[in-house]
C-alpha cells in the first residue's frame, strides 16, 4: 500500500475472496478499500467520490462502521462459531439488524429476512 489508503476495483469473479464473491453474486462494481487504522475516514471519503449519488452500497466491514453511519447496519452472526472478531464485538451494539446464521443455509433466506425487517 502506498500512502494512507488504497482503493482497488475487483475485476475477477472467479476466486474465493469476498470481493470476488460479491462480483460473482451480481454486484455491478466491487471495490476493496485498504487503509491504515487511523486513515479509514480519509480513505472512505476518497472512495465515496467515485460512486454515483444515490447508489446502493453494500459494504462488508466491521471497522468502517466506526466512521460511517449507514442507512441500515446489518450484522450476520455466525452461530456455527461462537468466537467473534474483536472488530465485530466493537460495533455489534450499533447494528440495526442482527441475523444469526450458521452459513449452511441458502443465503436467499437471509436476504429475505433483511428485506422483511426493513420494509
Condensed to tens digits (0 to 9), the pLDDT of residues 19-43 reads: 888 888 888 999 999 999 899 999 9
For residue 35, the model assigns a pLDDT of 94
Rounded CA separation 14/38 (Å): 32
- pTM greater than 0.75: yes
Residue 60 DSSP SS3: coil
At 78-87, the pLDDT tens digits run 767 778 889 9
Tens place of pLDDT per residue across the chain (119 aa): 889 999 999 999 998 888 888 888 888 999 999 999 899 999 999 999 999 998 888 888 999 999 999 988 988 887 677 788 899 999 999 999 888 876 665 667 777 877 887 77
For residue 119, the model assigns a pLDDT of 72
| Element housing 75 (H / E) | strand 74-78
Residue 30 DSSP SS3: coil
Identify whether the C-beta of residue 10 lies closer than 8 Å to the C-beta of residue 32: yes
Amino acid at each position: 500500500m502506498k500512502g494512507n489508503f488504497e482503493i482497488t476495483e475487483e475485476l475477477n469473479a472467479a476466486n474465493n475472496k469476498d470481493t470476488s464473491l460479491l462480483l460473482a453474486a451480481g454486484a455491478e462494481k466491487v471495490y476493496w478499500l485498504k487503509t491504515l487504522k487511523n486513515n479509514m475516514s480519509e480513505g472512505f471519503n476518497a472512495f465515496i467520490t467515485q460512486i454515483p449519488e444515490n447508489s446502493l452500497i453494500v459494504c462488508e466491514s466491521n471497522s468502517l462502521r466506526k466512521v460511517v453511519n449507514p442507512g441500515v447496519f446489518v450484522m450476520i452472526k455466525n452461530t456455527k462459531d461462537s468466537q467473534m472478531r474483536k472488530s465485530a464485538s466493537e460495533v455489534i451494539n450499533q447494528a440495526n439488524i442482527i441475523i444469526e446464521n450458521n452459513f449452511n443455509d441458502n443465503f436467499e433466506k437471509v436476504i429475505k429476512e433483511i428485506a422483511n425487517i426493513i420494509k
